[in-house]
């Protein structure tokens, strides 16, 4: 699944979540994310870094054990690096979105607040999607055949 597709899926899920939150006249989710999103994203980054280091170690073992050329997993390594960059970008984007959400300017316009809440929720959903992709990589490595 491409990056743009994942962004659109995260955005779509977020729109649905914010719609239901507003339909029920609740603020629970956005309040929860306001208090915890940055911490959650940093924790997900730490979990993914640990998992990816195990995956990279296993890749190195597979290369050595099967006498594979060093570049055989180059695309995988590039995707791992891109995943880490995505997660770091999510942390900074979430910070920017919260700064904007709490600004006096955004408070004047309900539509801007709503859009920002969708973007904040999208950061959370996208972070979970990255975690899922990382978890899938473990099973791909386990099932690796020469």
* Structure confidence by residue, pLDDT tens digits, 124-140: 999 999 999 988 888 87
Q: Are 42 and 91 in contact (CB under 8 A)?
A: yes
pLDDT above 90 (res 88) = yes
pLDDT of residue 137: 82
pLDDT of residue 77: 85
Instruction: For residue 31, count other CB atoms closer than 10 A to its CB.
Output: 11
**Average pLDDT in the 29-43 region?**
96
pLDDT above 70 (res 146) = no
Domain boundaries along the sequence of the chain: 3-142
User: How many Å apart are CA 38 and CA 91, to the nearest integer?
Assistant: 6
Q: Is the pTM of this model over 0.75?
A: yes
Backbone angles phi, psi at 92, to 5 degrees: -70, -40
The mean pLDDT value of the chain amounts to: 91
Model confidence at 145, pLDDT cuts 50, 70, 90, reads low
Q: Which of 133, 144, 136 is nearest to 63 (CA)?
A: 144
Cα 61-80-9 angle, rounded to 5 deg: 135
């Amino acid at each position: 699944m491409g990056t743009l597709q994942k962004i659109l899926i995260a955005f779509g899920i977020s729109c649905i979540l914010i719609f239901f939150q507003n339909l029920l006249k609740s603020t629970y989710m956005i309040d929860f994310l306001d208090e915890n999103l940055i911490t959650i994203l940093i924790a997900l980054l730490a979990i993914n870094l640990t998992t990816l280091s195990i995956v990279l170690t296993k890749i190195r073992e597979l290369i050595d054990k099967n006498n594979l050329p060093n570049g055989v997993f180059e695309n995988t390594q590039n995707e791992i690096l891109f995943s880490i960059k995505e997660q770091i970008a999510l942390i900074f984007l979430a910070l920017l979105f919260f700064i904007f959400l709490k600004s006096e300017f955004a408070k004047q316009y309900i539509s801007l607040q709503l859009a920002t809440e969708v973007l904040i929720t999208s950061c959370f959903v996208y972070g979970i999607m990255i975690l899922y992709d990382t978890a899938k990589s473990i099973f791909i490595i386990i099932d690796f055949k020469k």
